[in-house]
Structure 1
Amino acid sequence: MDIHRDFAQIAVLQNGEVRDAGQVACRPDALVGWARTLGPGDQVALEATGNSEAIALLIRPYAGRVVVSNPLKTRAIAEAKVKTDKVDARILAQLLAADFLPPVWLPDERTARLRRIVGQRTQLVRERTRIKNQVHAVLARNLLPRPTATDLFGKAGRAWLGLQVLPPDERDTVQALLRHLDFLGTELVSYEQALATEALTDATARRLMTIPGVSMVVAMALIAAVGDFGRFPTAAVGDFGRFPTAEKLVAYLGLHPRVRQSGGQPAYHGRITKQGNAHARGMLVEAAFTAALAPGPLRAFYSRIKARRGFQIAVVATARKLATLAWTLDTRGEDYAFARPSLVAFKHRKLELTSGAPRAVAHRGPGYAYNDKQLRREERELVETAERAYQLLISNWQPHRPPGAKKIEFTQLRQE
């Protein structure tokens, strides 16, 4: 099926012959009517487009196999000299018969819903940033000083902004931008409440939040990108099994370095591939900034890479470490070993409040312990001890044996 906005061109390969099978409208009733002509032995291929996921979900119950092809890897269509809808459909049928189509993983209903919520929240955040930049631009072109308040759009910042002298049209522009900003803030609260409600019943999200720097937004963005590995809230282990190793997850998120190697030449490692979900990758990088400031082994890891390779590479390497850590924790069904209990309880309480839970007035809940400075200092000392242990471990680390060193067998170590 060569998919378009209003119709799909169909080609059929049967008994080694390819023939055109006309068009079908991209409407639910028309697609279901055509899908009912299929059988368990039929296979359907279509390229990944904006509406291919919905079409695949409609066809899947009637066909034996539905393959959504990755358009970036279907080079036979992109490089064809004669490119029409019929030719594209024929090539897809031939590649499917030869099992040469690189498939795209199709999310389930919950994951698709989470992806839509996360995507809409991302658009709201970007729109809010754009509006704030416009307000700062108004101040700059009218030669006004920098605001004295830390947050220009908070209560003190808006009070300072109201005292500034601006031309009437610029004043109207600022007021309109602020009204739009307030509207987007209200919409953003509703989307974050929906994410928090999902995270409350998701064991994997709460487990990921034990990692320093990983908030509810970061955890749900990773869940939406990777898949519905939290669809069993009561289970100890999620569905990270879609990725057999942590390296597969890292590659899926585009945090793997590019590798070029040919013949007897040494391999060249370049920048990260940046394949996969860009938003999830960006959220992990933001979480890496916070993890690099919190005491613990992650900060020691960041400092070691920063001393050797610089700030930018260290942040990306820490983001990659967070992805590996998330895979390990989920597959083992464990929380982060160096988590600070009071901070985790504070995160969980904040998650409940974001989801709409009532505030407990004059009542000290589980998250109140984070306000105890003595307890926070003791927990900080514990994770700083773990950080020093990590630094001691890697201080004399040698990836290879020194020249002339004798290899000691494992059996010999057991005997000694």
Structure 2
Amino acid sequence: MRKYYVGLDVHKVSIAIAVLDVHGKLITRTVIETSTEAVRDFFGNLRGEIHLTFEEGNHAAWLYDIVEPLVRRVVACNPKHNRIEGSRSDRVDAVKLAELLRLNALKPVYHGEHGTRTLKHLMRCYECLVKDITRVKNRLKALYNSQAIKQRGRELYHASKRQSWLEKLPNQGQRTRAELFFQQLDELKVIKRAAQKAMVAESKRHPAYRVLSQVAELGPVRIAQIIPTVETPWRFRTKRPFWHYSGLAVVTRSTADHELENGRVRKRRKQVIQTRGLNQDYNRRLKSIFKSAATHASHCGAYREYYEGLLKTGMREEMARLAVARKLSATVLAVWKSGESFDAGRILRKTA
């Protein structure tokens, strides 16, 4: 059976396709419509063992569901790791993707669980509404700052003091503008509460909710965000890949690791290892969840003693909070995998 490597460059209207054989020879190139029927027709007429790739994007979930039963292997790849140099076009990109797939030089993006799809859409709806509320609040603050009207914290958003804040604006146009922003803020808050209620209710239908709800500092909203983002804990063999995925892995660099001793090359006894901060390629949502939870956990609850113990050893506050975030993420992974109850006594054990 012939083996083919297929690269797709997907756009709103069209999909550029390139097919290579095992030797890297271009078999065919074509452009089809971005539709379910066109995709199925193309792969229905392509005989052989098909390995397919396309870049993760807006169409990735839709396309993955269509082609997964039609081909041997599907790789939705991370576009940040695809170095395509020189002149570029849709057809050129499709060929380059097929070639990278043939060389096994692509970094895949996980697509596998379908049970969390409804929760994932509800979570995205909730997060969009949170961002919209933040934008409206920033516009209100910018309006008052432009008139040098001092306001601190959340006092500007209290409905009981709204009329007094409107009277502080000198111009009628500014008052009308602020009044409309306040109305928009009120309506968004109502919609956000409805979205949050639907998201949390859907998350409670998953078995993982009962397990994760026992972990200290994880409220219902954070759990409802973690479940569709991770989907399954078995994606990660140990806590260290999970730290990397969550943006909590420390990046180190070393060079000249060997030296010449008595005519033989040996590894240096004293290596100079320099840290370069945390990894840059990570899931933004998970990092925000664990770092915000760690900030709160450092001052109350089961993690406070662990945090204070790190400070006593001379560790800086920001590094201690990072350690708490790593401990929290490792706890989530361990509890989720084992299904055991959360044990606060294990928190004080030294992290590996």
**TM interval, short-chain normalised:** 0.7 to 0.9
Over 3 Å counting, the alpha-carbon distance change for 1:209 and 1:52 in structure 2 is same
Contact map agreement 1:255 1:274 (CA 8 A) in 2:
no
* Residue 180 of structure 2 corresponds to residue 201 of structure 1: no
Contact map agreement 1:306 1:313 (CA 8 A) in 2:
no
Q: Which amino acid aligns with 2:18?
A: A
Query: Secondary structure at the residue paired with 2:203?
Result: helix
Question: How many percent of aligned residue pairs carry the same amino acid?
Answer: 22
Q: For residue 189 of structure 2, what is the aligned residue in structure 1? A: 185
Over 3 Å counting, the alpha-carbon distance change for 1:143 and 1:7 in structure 2 is closer
CA shift for structure 1 position 58: 0.9
* Residue 28 of structure 2 corresponds to residue 20 of structure 1: yes
Distance in 2 separating the partners of 1:107 and 1:306: 41
Contact map agreement 1:45 1:67 (CA 8 A) in 2:
yes
* Residue 218 of structure 2 corresponds to residue 225 of structure 1: no
Q: Which amino acid aligns with 1:211?
A: V
Matching residue within 164, 172, 177 for 1:173? 177
Q: For residue 16 of structure 2, what is the aligned residue in structure 1? A: 9
Q: For residue 275 of structure 2, what is the aligned residue in structure 1? A: 269
| Residues matched between the structures, number | 330
Contact map agreement 2:126 2:199 (CA 8 A) in 1:
no
CA shift for structure 1 position 158: 2.9
* Residue 121 of structure 2 corresponds to residue 128 of structure 1: no
CA shift for structure 1 position 151: 4.4
Q: For residue 60 of structure 2, what is the aligned residue in structure 1? A: 52
Contact map agreement 1:253 1:280 (CA 8 A) in 2:
yes
CA shift for structure 1 position 202: 2.1
Matching residue within 58, 63, 78 for 2:71? 63
CA shift for structure 1 position 4: 2.4
Query: Normalising by structure 2, what TM-score?
Result: 0.84
* Residue 242 of structure 2 corresponds to residue 249 of structure 1: yes
* Residue 104 of structure 2 corresponds to residue 99 of structure 1: yes
* Residue 287 of structure 2 corresponds to residue 294 of structure 1: no
Unaligned runs of 5+ in 2: 1-7, 258-270
Runs of 4+ in 1 over 6 A off after TM superposition: none
- Superposition map of 1:279-318 within 5 A: 279-296=285-302, 298-307=303-312, 308-318=314-324
Distance in 1 separating the partners of 2:326 and 2:22: 48
Q: Which amino acid aligns with 2:53?
A: A
Q: Which amino acid aligns with 2:220?
A: M
Q: For residue 41 of structure 1, what is the aligned residue in structure 2? A: 49
Unaligned runs of 5+ in 1: 230-239, 339-385, 400-416
Contact map agreement 1:254 1:272 (CA 8 A) in 2:
yes
Distance in 2 separating the partners of 1:155 and 1:9: 54
Over 3 Å counting, the alpha-carbon distance change for 1:72 and 1:95 in structure 2 is same
Q: For residue 260 of structure 1, what is the aligned residue in structure 2? A: 253
Q: Which amino acid aligns with 1:280?
A: L
Contact map agreement 1:20 1:86 (CA 8 A) in 2:
no
Query: Normalising by structure 1, what TM-score?
Result: 0.72
CA shift for structure 1 position 244: 0.9
Matching residue within 72, 89, 92 for 1:87? 92
User: 1:348-399 CA deviation, whole Å, 9 max, x = no partner?
Assistant: xxxxxxxxxxxxxxxxxxxxxxxxxxxxxxxxxxxxxx69x94xx77xx9x9
- Range moving further from structure 2, 44-53 or 242-251: 44-53
Over 3 Å counting, the alpha-carbon distance change for 1:191 and 1:110 in structure 2 is farther
User: 1:186-238 CA deviation, whole Å, 9 max, x = no partner?
Assistant: 221221122111222223223222222211111121112211x3xxxxxxxxx
Q: Which amino acid aligns with 2:20?
A: L
Q: For residue 211 of structure 1, what is the aligned residue in structure 2? A: 215
